[in-house]
């Protein structure tokens, strides 16, 4: 009974454990791996990312120049960003906003 | 007159996070036999591993389980490193221990929540999972993801944890320990929880040994078996102490996990204190050639990876024996003689991970 009373009083003055989402949002942590993006200005279309991708999610073509990633196949492991010689593939710490 | 009934428990059942079917033969309300049926989420990962190169398989191994993912990739990497004769830098070994033990804490908190949910104590379920968020935050800050860390690689680790994050991790662990200690008496001393768990689903020490129980199921029955005692990665320098109970019932299995969390927190603190400076990984040259059975201790018990390489980039064989598979035989020993209403609690008390089991 004493324990229970203590808990009741503590709960009266405690902050809630949850956030009032979507009005209060948590800032994403630095270095998070949430989504994959590519800067086409830097890409040399070498195709290393396509060969290394464990999920076969990336398709690269030299002629015509194209780089496509299937977001439903991507497992967000970051291996492509790691092996990219030009570092044009990078991981964002936020998810892609659906418009 | 005794009525014999056959009840299919699962594959869809409120307490089961993953599908497994247990065909229960009942005499009135008492279970006399249980027959398991698995195969609902078989993904053929072992075959896929033969098609990928041995570095890509690290990511595949990590995705065998959605809870102890880092430890799966650690087991795979240690196996390949042994085949190729790679010596991992000390800092990488310590970082591997930190992430492994953080994973163990999060897995045990998840288990406690599921167990509380199984016996209908929603408040404890919420408290456990609220505390689990602290651990997931540690993982997200240090590795970039909540569960699929992707930091283990053959030859070491990919990411370093900077000093400020190590300090933050220690602070979060202190907070976690404080809040966790607040609700532990709820699990250990509550009258109704004791009624539901003590003496339910008993496996004796001999039975646990003969049936090949691993992990907390074996340790709750008094079998002193924990692969961390062999000192893989950096465990040999951290003074690991095993948690063993003698009761062999559901309460014992819960208590082993509760106490193991304190040991895991101690190991993380110790590893952070002793973390040596140095490189994170060594370069991997060539392809593996040979075979090796790699073993590590997961939150649910010992996992065994049999790896056979042939000198090319693809593996010949990639075989995984996960702890839940080993614990299914003791589970079938626990069920006969119990009441139908105790079946959910007993099933959850072995902390089943079916997607691991079926791969």
CA distance A75 to chain B (A): 9
Helix ranges (DSSP H) in B200-289: 205-210, 215-220, 250-274
Look up the domain containing B183 and give its range.
42-358
Q: Which helix (H) or strand (E) holds A81?
A: helix A79-83
Q: Could you check whether the bond before residue B297 is cis, i.e. omega within 30 degrees of 0? A: no
User: Best interface-test mutation with B: which of A77, A80, A93, A94 has the largest number of B CBs within 10 A?
Assistant: A77
Q: What is the pLDDT of residues A33-60, one digit of tens each?
A: 888 888 888 888 888 999 889 998 999 9
Q: Does the pLDDT at position A98 exceed 80? A: no
pTM, rounded to two decimals:
0.90
Q: Which residues of B touch A31 (CB under 8 A)?
A: 141, 144, 159
The domain total for chain B is 1
In a domain, B177, yes or no: yes
Sort residue B350 into left (φ over 0), alpha (ψ -120 to 50) or beta: alpha
- Distance, CA of B27 to CA of B144 (rounded, Å): 52
In a domain, B220, yes or no: yes
The per-residue DSSP string of A49-78 comes to HHHH-TT--EEEETTTTEEEE-TTT-----
Is beta strand A66-69 parallel, antiparallel or unpaired with respect to A58-61? antiparallel
In a domain, B238, yes or no: yes
Please give chain B's pLDDT, 359 residues, in tens: 778 888 888 788 888 888 888 898 988 888 888 888 888 888 888 888 888 888 999 998 998 888 888 999 999 999 999 998 888 999 999 999 999 999 999 999 999 999 988 888 888 888 889 889 999 999 999 988 888 888 888 988 988 898 899 999 999 999 999 888 888 888 888 888 888 888 888 898 998 999 989 989 999 998 988 888 888 888 888 888 888 988 888 899 999 999 999 999 999 999 999 889 889 888 888 888 889 999 999 999 899 999 999 888 888 888 999 899 899 899 888 888 888 888 888 988 888 888 888 88
In a domain, B8, yes or no: no
Q: Does the beta-carbon distance from B60 to A76 stay under 8 Å?
A: no
Tell me which CATH code domain A28-92 carries. 3.30.70.20
In a domain, B277, yes or no: yes
| Phi, psi dihedral angles at B150 (to 5 degrees) | 65, 25
Q: Does the beta-carbon distance from A76 to B145 stay under 8 Å?
A: yes
* ipTM for the whole complex: 0.82
Q: Which residues 38-57 of A are in CB contact (within 8 Å) with B?
A: 52, 54
Q: Does the beta-carbon distance from A75 to B148 stay under 8 Å?
A: yes
- The CATH number assigned to the domain holding B154 equals 1.10.645.10
Q: Does the beta-carbon distance from B144 to A31 stay under 8 Å?
A: yes
In a domain, B28, yes or no: no
Asked if B303 and B322 count as a contact pair (C-beta separation under 8 A), the reply is yes
In a domain, B249, yes or no: yes
In a domain, B333, yes or no: yes
Residue closest to B269 by CA, chosen among B292, B238, B242: B238
């Amino acid at each position: 009974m004493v324990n229970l009373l203590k808990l009741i009083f503590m709960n009266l003055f405690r902050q809630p454990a949850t956030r009032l989402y979507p009005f209060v949002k948590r800032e994403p942590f630095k270095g998070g791996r949430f989504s994959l993006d590519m800067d086409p200005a830097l890409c040399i279309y070498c195709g290393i990312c396509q060969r290394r991708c464990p999920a076969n999610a990336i398709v690269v073509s030299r002629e015509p120049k194209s780089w496509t990633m299937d977001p439903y196949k991507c497992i967000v492991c970051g291996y492509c960003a790691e092996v990219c010689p030009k570092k044009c593939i990078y991981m964002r710490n936020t998810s892609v906003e659906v418009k | 007159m005794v009525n014999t009934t056959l009840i299919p428990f699962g594959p869809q059942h409120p307490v089961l996070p993953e599908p497994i079917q247990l065909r229960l033969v009942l005499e009135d309300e008492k279970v006399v036999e249980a027959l398991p049926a698995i195969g609902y989420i078989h993904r053929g990962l072992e075959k896929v591993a033969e098609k990928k190169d041995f570095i890509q398989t690290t990511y595949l191994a990590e995705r065998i389980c959605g809870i102890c993912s880092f430890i799966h990739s650690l087991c795979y990497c240690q196996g390949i490193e042994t085949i190729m004769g790679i010596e991992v830098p000390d800092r990488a070994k310590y970082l591997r221990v930190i992430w492994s033990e953080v994973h163990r804490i999060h897995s045990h908190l998840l288990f406690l929540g599921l167990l509380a949910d199984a016996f209908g104590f929603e408040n404890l379920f919420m408290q456990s999972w609220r505390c689990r968020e602290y651990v997931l935050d540690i993982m997200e800050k240090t590795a970039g993801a909540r569960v699929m860390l992707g930091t283990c690689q053959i030859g070491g680790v990919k990411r370093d944890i900077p000093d400020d994050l190590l300090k933050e991790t220690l602070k979060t662990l202190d907070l976690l320990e404080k809040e966790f200690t607040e609700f532990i008496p709820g699990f250990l001393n509550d009258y109704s929880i004791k009624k539901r768990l003590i003496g339910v689903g008993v496996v004796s020490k001999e039975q646990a040994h003969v049936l090949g129980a691993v992990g907390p199921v074996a340790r709750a029955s008094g079998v002193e078996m924990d692969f961390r005692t062999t000192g893989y990665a950096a465990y040999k320098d951290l003074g690991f102490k095993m948690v063993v109970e003698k009761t062999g019932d559901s309460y014992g299995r819960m208590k082993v996990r509760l106490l193991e969390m304190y040991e895991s927190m101690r190991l993380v603190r110790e590893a952070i204190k002793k973390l040596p400076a140095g490189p994170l990984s060594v370069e991997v040259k060539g392809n593996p050639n040979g075979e090796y059975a790699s073993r590590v201790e997961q939150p649910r018990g010992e996992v065994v990876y049999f790896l056979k390489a042939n000198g090319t980039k693809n593996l010949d064989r990639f075989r995984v024996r996960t702890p839940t598979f080993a614990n299914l035989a003791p589970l079938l020993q626990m069920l006969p003689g119990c009441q139908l209403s105790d079946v959910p609690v007993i099933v959850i008390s072995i902390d089943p991970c079916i997607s691991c089991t079926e791969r």
